[in-house]
Chains A and B, each alone.
Chain A
Amino acid sequence: SQQGEEDPQALSIQEGENATMNCSYKTSINNLQWYRQNSGRGLVHLILIRSNEREKHSGRLRVTLDTSKKSSSLLITASRAADTASYFCATTSGNTPLVFGKGTRLSVIA
Chain B
Amino acid sequence: GAVVSQHPSWVICKSGTSVKIECRSLDFQATTMFWYRQFPKQSLMLMATSNEGSKATYEQGVEKDKFLINHASLTLSTLTVTSAHPEDSSFYICSASDRGGGSWISEQYFGPGTRLTVT
User: A-side interface residues toward B, CB under 8 Å?
Assistant: 1-2, 30-31, 33, 35, 40-43, 45, 48, 50, 88, 92, 95-103, 105
CB <8 Å contact, A92 and B105: yes
Q: Which 8 A-B pairs have the closest CB atoms?
A: A42-B112, A92-B104, A43-B110, A100-B44, A42-B113, A100-B43, A102-B43, A97-B34
Asked whether any CB of chain A lies closer than 8 Å to the CB of B102, the reply is yes
Q: Which residues of B contact A31 (CB under 8 A)?
A: 105
Nearest-neighbour CB distance to chain B for A34, whole angstroms, equals: 11
Nearest-neighbour CB distance to chain A for B18, whole angstroms, equals: 24
Nearest-neighbour CB distance to chain B for A15, whole angstroms, equals: 23
CB <8 Å contact, B104 and A95: yes
Q: Which residues of A contact B29 (CB under 8 A)?
A: none
Q: Which residues of A contact B41 (CB under 8 A)?
A: 105
CB <8 Å contact, B104 and A102: no
CB <8 Å contact, B44 and A30: no
Which chain B residue lies CB-closest to A51? Answer: B105
Nearest-neighbour CB distance to chain B for A101, whole angstroms, equals: 6
List, sorted by A's number, 21 A–B pairs whose CB atoms are closer than 8 Å.
A1-B60, A2-B43, A30-B105, A31-B105, A35-B110, A40-B91, A42-B110, A42-B113, A43-B44, A43-B110, A48-B107, A50-B105, A88-B44, A95-B102, A95-B103, A97-B97, A98-B34, A98-B95, A100-B43, A102-B43, A103-B43
Q: Which residues of B contact A97 (CB under 8 A)?
A: 32, 34, 46, 49, 95, 97, 104, 108
Q: How far is the CA of A99 from the CA of B46 in the complex (A)?
A: 7
Asked whether any CB of chain A lies closer than 8 Å to the CB of B54, the reply is no
